[in-house]
């Protein structure tokens, strides 16, 4: 079975960053993952803290570097599922930032997963080792991770069935006509 390569991207420079813990957890549920470049990724787990109601400059800057991928076979985040995770001290910044993050992913031609995860960090959600001590958030991160994996597999299957450019594709009508020919 095809094993998608999932990349985790984001976090903060703060030691013990809860954003980084959430990304690590979500990208490691599926085994094959990395905190690396997006160019080779089949799926991405993308996380940012909410800073003054939007993405952090650090994460936005990293995303802006996808401009370097504009001439690639798969430019920007094209055709890749992106699981969006946001941490913030309060609910309001968490949800506005999630909407902003999804808008950026759309602009980069990625496919935000149906579920995005918002984590309010004024409650303790992770322990020092990065274990999620909130079952509700743990479940959400697991679902988001599964959605990234499922979409990456569907995408790979669709790509493998796509005819080469210029190849003759029999239409349904021609197939029926062939079957009816005695
Ligand atoms: C510069 C800055 C701006 C922030 N702005 C907000 C904000 O507007 N609303 C909010 O709820 N939390 C805000 N926070 C809190 C962070 O979003 C929150 O602590 C986040 O979980 C930090 O992620 P980390 O644990 O990965 O470092 C801000 C923090 C910083 C440092």
The domain segmentation of the chain, as residue ranges, is 6-178
The beta-strand segments (E) located in the chain are 6-10, 33-34, 43-49, 81-88, 111-112, 117-120
Could you tell me the pLDDT band of residue 127, with boundaries at 50, 70 and 90? very high
Q: Cα–Cα–Cα angle for 133, 53, 149, nearest 5°?
A: 50
CB of 87 closer than 6 A to ligand 1? yes
Distance CA(31)–CA(119), nearest Å, equals: 23
Percent of the chain at pLDDT above 70?
88
Question: Residue 33 pLDDT > 90, yes or no?
Answer: no
Q: Is the distance from the beta carbon of residue 19 to the nearest atom of ligand 1 less than 6 Å? A: yes
Residue nearest to atom 14 of ligand 1 (CA): 51
Distance CA 142, CA 27 (A): 9
CA separation for the pair 104, 115 (Å, rounded): 16
Separation between Cα atoms, residue 36 and residue 5, nearest integer Å: 11
Q: Is the pLDDT score of 31 beyond 80?
A: no
Q: Would you say the CB of residue 50 lies under 6 angstroms from ligand 1? A: yes
What does the DSSP 8-state code read for residue 164? P
Ligand 1: which residue has its CA nearest to atom 3? 51
State pTM to two decimals. Answer: 0.89
Pocket flag, ligand 1, residue 56 (CB < 6 Å): no
Taking the CA of residue 149 as centre, how many other CA atoms within 13 Å lie in the half-sphere pointing to its CB? Answer: 17
Interior angle at CA 34, CA 122 and CA 24, nearest 5: 20
CA contacts within 13 A on the Cβ side of 174: 4
The CATH class of the 6-178 domain is: alpha beta
Residue 10 is predicted with a pLDDT of 95
Interval 103-108 mean pLDDT = 98
- Whether the pLDDT of residue 174 is over 70: the answer is no
Candidate from 41-50, 87-96, 110-119, 167-176 with smallest mean pLDDT: 167-176
Closest CA to 54 of 123, 104, 117, 114: 104
With a 6 Å cutoff on the Cβ, whether 49 touches ligand 1 is: yes
């Amino acid at each position: 079975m095809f094993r998608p390569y999932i990349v985790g991207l984001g976090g903060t420079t703060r030691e013990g960053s809860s954003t980084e813990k959430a990304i690590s957890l979500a990208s490691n549920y599926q085994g094959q993952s990395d905190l690396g470049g997006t160019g080779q990724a089949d799926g991405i787990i993308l996380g940012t803290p909410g800073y003054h109601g939007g993405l952090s400059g650090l994460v936005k800057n990293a995303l802006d570097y996808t401009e370097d991928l504009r001439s690639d076979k798969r430019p920007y985040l094209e055709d890749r599922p992106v699981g969006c995770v946001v941490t913030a001290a309060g609910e309001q910044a968490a949800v506005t930032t999630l909407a902003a993050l999804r808008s950026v992913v759309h602009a980069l031609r990625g496919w935000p997963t149906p579920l995005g995860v918002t984590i309010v960090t004024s409650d303790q959600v992770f322990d020092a080792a990065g274990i999620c001590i909130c079952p509700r958030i743990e479940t959400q991160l697991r679902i988001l991770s599964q959605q990234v994996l499922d979409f990456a597999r569907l995408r790979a299957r669709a790509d493998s069935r796509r005819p080469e450019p210029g190849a003759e594709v029999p239409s349904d009508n021609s197939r029926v006509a062939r079957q009816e020919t005695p």
